[in-house]
Amino acid sequence: MSNFQKIKVLIVDDSIFVRKTLETKLGSDPHIEVVGTATDPFDAMEKIKNLKPDVLTVDVEMPKMNGIDFIKQLMHTKPVPVVVVSSLPINVLDALNAGAVDFVKKPNIHLPDDLKSFIMELSTKIKIASVARVGQTSAATTSSPLSSLTNASSETVIAIGASTGGTEAILSVVKDLPSSTPGIVVVQHMPAGFTKMYAERIDKIVNMRVKEAANNDRVENGVILIAAGENHLTLCRDKLGYYVKSAPGPKVSGHCPSVDVLFDSVASIAKGNAVGIILTGMGGDGAKGLLKMRQAGAYTIGQNKKSCVVYGMPMVAYNVGAVTKQLALSNISAEIIRYLNKK
């Protein structure tokens, strides 16, 4: 990326200290140009018109209008990719629901090591956001009603992997699945603390029971287990059926939890009795694991480019031959039911 292609960033935060810190630190990245700062959403709206930023960083707690209402308004009037900077997990989930691309957990800015890793993560997510498709939050509502599930075997496991844009994509896939659906195991790239909130939020919306995965949880029909942040999730089996292991470990494919780790274990344990689904996200985590699943006899689905926030992980999986069928996000849940009924 050369200088004239720098990503133009507008920082929206009510704290002058945070604004100055981000402006200085992000401005030292050769790929990023901080074109301005705003103290609140009204200030930001004016500056967006004049500065035409490629990406916004937005605090959730602000005066005059909170960050979530601001993001909703922005997505309806002039969609711009947003990376949320917040320390509050529940507000972050609301922001992602409103249309934000991703989030970074606010550090203790006074601790140099915390600040350094935060700036590195924020810079990376700004670069990802700059290529994201935004303003299509209604896409998930265009699906047709699902057929009933007539074949729900406890031998079947459904494994889902996602990253950027994945919190809403996962919800779109599972929200209308019947309570008898085979057990689902999920890796969504997210830090510790946020995955529990995410599981609790989805649990209130869907027909299945949803929880953050704990070590030795059983994989059962009607249950969705979401990998805990900073823990790898693996599928295991004993004489009673499937269960999971949840444990910290080194990053694999750049992540912990890693989609590849989950998919590898599903390929090894469930073999042809599995469905693998790879959704929106940057990078290649999950592609190798999904290929192993397909080679072991599993049915594999990849999200298509048009419906992805970031067509990275599904693209890599498709290109290596890991995807049996590529579909729009709104059609994936119906395809799961169709396949299970045919089995």
Catalytic site positions: 163, 189, 285
Name residue 56's beta-bridge partners.
10, 82
> What gap in Å lies between CA 95 and CA 68, rounded to an integer?
5
In a 13 Å sphere around the CA of 340, the CA atoms on its Cβ side amount to: 29
Cα 163 vs. chain centroid, distance in angstroms?
A: 4
> What gap in Å lies between CA 195 and CA 36, rounded to an integer?
33
Residue among 40, 162, 65, 64 at smallest CA distance from 56? 40
Q: What is the 3-state secondary structure (H, E, C) of the chain?
A: CCHHHCEEEEEECCCHHHHHHHHHHHHCCCCEEEEEEECCHHHHHHHHHHHCCCEEEEECCCCCCCHHHHHHHHHHHCCCCEEEEECCHHHHHHHHHHCCCEEEECCCCCCHHHHHHHHHHHHHHHHHHCCCCCCCHHHHHHCCCCCCCCCCCCCCEEEEEECCCHHHHHHHHHCCCCCCCCCEEEEECCCCCHHHHHHHHHHCCCCCEEEECCCCCECCCCEEEECCCCCEEEEEEECCEEEEEEECCCCECCECCCHHHHHHHHHHHCHHHEEEEECCECCCCCHHHHHHHHHCCCEEEEECCCCCCCECHHHHHHHCCCCCEEECHHHHHHHHHHHHHHC
